[in-house]
Amino acid sequence: MCGIGGIININNSKIDPEIANNIKTSLEHRGPDNSSIKHISETVSLVHTRLAIIDIEDRSNQPFHSDDNRYWIVFNGEIYNYKEIREELENKGYSFHTSGDTEVLLKGFICYKEKILDKLRGQFAFAIYDSIEKTTFLARDRIGIKPLYFSKYKEWIVFGSEMKTIESSKLIPFIPDTESYMTYMRHLCIPGSSTGNKNISKVRPGEYVTFSKSGEIKTYKYWDPFSFEIDYEMSESDASDELERLLIESVEYRKVSDVEVGLFLSGGLDSSLIGKLMKAGSQSKLKGFNIDYEEHFDGYKGEVSEAEYASSNIDIELIKEKIAYRDFKTLLNNYSNYQDDLNGDEVGIPLYFLGKSARSKGITVVQVGEGADELFYGYEHWLRYLKLNRFIKPIMKNNSRVSGFSNHRLNLLSNIIFNRTSFPGGALGFNLSEINRLVDGGISENPSSLHYVDSKWDDYFSRSDAELSKWMTLVDLDIRLPELLLMRMDKLVMQSGVETRVPFLDHKLVEFVLTVPEKILLNKSTTKPLLKNIARNHIPNKIIDRPKQGFRAPIGEWIKKDIDYFYDSVKSFNEEVNLFNTNELNKVLNGSDYQKKWYLINLSQWHASRRVQ
């Protein structure tokens, strides 16, 4: 895993080397093993910082070029099947100077152009510059595990692994996107190509973007989870066998590394199963990492004992750390910068400390269990929602997207009855009615990023094969996983120069699960029935059947320790931006829902961190 960046001037103006150096500096936490700038011409500079994992020799440093110097690549991520692709290219006459995946990716692009994306199995974001055609090609992996941002502003094209890569160039001004701010309040992230800065966009999962010599931008979708059809003839035994095969294969692929690979271990089903599969056939000791809190809080008892049981059963060396309020306050000064784009999930805080813990033990690659809950129905509230929809059916279509109820339960019932978007994703921020009350002047019904998911809902349920249960997985593959859960993982763990790998989100595994019928994936009495049946072949029932707790942070308890500090930041933000109705804002700040307070605090501090740059 690495950091990538680039600057292109389409009017042939010379690039100031200091700008490229600023970009390199902004990326060095992502790649502490090597950092390089290549000025391909006076108007094109590429930047790369490297975390050496595969072929750790200097010969695989980037920016990397083709034999004839026509094509240049900067690449972040891992191509797990690079050896198979390399063999295919060698049979076509290509020769190689390194043993890594970067050269394979570049020569694969030279051979197949954009069709190379169909062959890749991995997590990636990369840019390729053609020095003859003077065109640029950007691509992001199918699931969106790796981030990639870009900006076309006046005569400049700037791209990078993080928003702050682009911001550090000082070429792209910050203009707050209040529409995206409202969208963040709904999803705790921003779906689609938008960001919190009107001048910065992101490459979407499963998408590639091209820039012509003149700066014309075109976007193309090469993979779409909504395109897969359910196989209603599939048997439960066939589903179980194929899923187990794919999962074992996925974990094996993610063990490919020239450095030691660790594990984030909660002690639950997902991480324990991955740990067991990682240990299969290996005599070496696997390091697992777990985070707890010095102060426990209502609704969360920690997972240390569960992690200890799992680690002893699987034979994993468990490294445990504890977070205190003082650690949170120290982190808070830089947290908005670390999280990069708007991301309201406070679990980014313990993930930051998990990354630090792994790095302190010399581990720079870890496997994690992200994605299993979304694919296999691991949330109790998902099952409750599906049960509710069996008893309550839509009565009529309401032209308004916003219900008259801000209360969550009444809002949900109203949306089901009037066939509005009743499940906008697994991340629950403010519902549309709450946002409509809170935003000064209300919200518009016009198409926008705020209504991105509503348009998706209408399109999907116009299909004859639409199923509510599949929608829940599909919408989280489209929004929550790539822009919330995976970005908190990437941005906060990479602050310590640690790569995370997600075997449950191997695209071959995801594609297969999307074809499995509901009758096999769902069970009224338990979560994850299919995955649990497979897990019983590998780990104890005590791990599989323990109640799910979920990874949380005591954000409410921390806010209470310094209420004035946190509330003042929200009020200052609103005085500047004038986004919220003051009376409605005060109702939230004076209320008892500290999660919603955190979402507003996080937004306010993120905005302030950009404004002062």
DSSP 476: I
CA distance 192 to 425: 14
> What are the structural domain ranges in the chain?
2-174+196-223, 225-553, 554-613
CA distance 346 to 220: 33
396 C-beta neighbours (distance < 10 Å), count: 7
Between the alpha carbon of residue 326 and those of residues 294, 301, 356, the distances in Å are: 10, 20, 16
The residues of the chain scoring below 70 in pLDDT are 1, 52, 54-60, 283, 299-302, 612-613
Average pLDDT of the chain is: 93
Counting every residue written for the chain, the total comes to 613
CA distance 169 to 23: 6
The set of residues, in sequence order, having a beta carbon less than 8 Å from that of 287 and lying 6+ positions away, is 260, 262, 263, 316, 317, 319, 358, 361, 363
Whose CA is closest to 258, among 108, 88, 101, 146?
101
CA distance 68 to 62: 16
- Looking at residue 58, its pLDDT comes to 63
CA distance 38 to 35: 10
- Looking at residue 57, its pLDDT comes to 63
- Looking at residue 1, its pLDDT comes to 62
Sign of CA dihedral 66, 70, 76, 77: negative
Residue 358 three-state SS: helix
Helix or strand (DSSP H, E) at 273: helix 269-279
CA distance 148 to 504: 22
Instruction: Name the residue with tokens 């440093």.
Output: 61
Cis ω for the linkage preceding 503 (within 30 of 0):
no
CATH T-level assignment (fold) for domain 2-174+196-223: Glutamine Phosphoribosylpyrophosphate, subunit 1, domain 1 (3.60.20)
Structure tokens at 186: 């709904």
CA distance 453 to 457: 6
Task: Read off the amino acid at residue 290.
Answer: N
The predicted-structure confidence for 588-609, as pLDDT tens digits, reads as follows: 999 999 999 999 999 999 999 9
CB 319 within 8 A of CB 357: yes
Q: How many helices (H) and strands (E) does the chain have?
A: 25, 17
Residue 404 three-state SS: coil
Q: For the sheet with 71-79, list strands across it.
A: 64-65, 71-79, 122-130, 135-140, 207-211, 217-221
**Sequential DSSP letters for 204-247:** PTTEEEEE-TT--EEEEE---GGGPPP-TT--HHHHHHHHHHHH
- Looking at residue 333, its pLDDT comes to 86
DSSP 590: T
- Looking at residue 493, its pLDDT comes to 96
b/e per residue, 65-104, with b = 16+ CB within 10 A? bbeeeebbbbbbbbbbbbeebbeebeeeebeeebbbbbbb
- Looking at residue 219, its pLDDT comes to 98
290 C-beta neighbours (distance < 10 Å), count: 26
Residue 16 three-state SS: coil
CA distance 219 to 6: 18
Residue 160 three-state SS: strand
Between the alpha carbon of residue 487 and those of residues 25, 144, 329, 498, the distances in Å are: 21, 9, 22, 14
Q: Which of the following CATH numbers is that of domain 225-553: 3.40.980.10, 3.40.630.40, 3.30.540.10, 3.40.50.620?
A: 3.40.50.620
CA distance 408 to 430: 9
- Looking at residue 300, its pLDDT comes to 64
406 C-beta neighbours (distance < 10 Å), count: 18
CA distance 307 to 531: 19
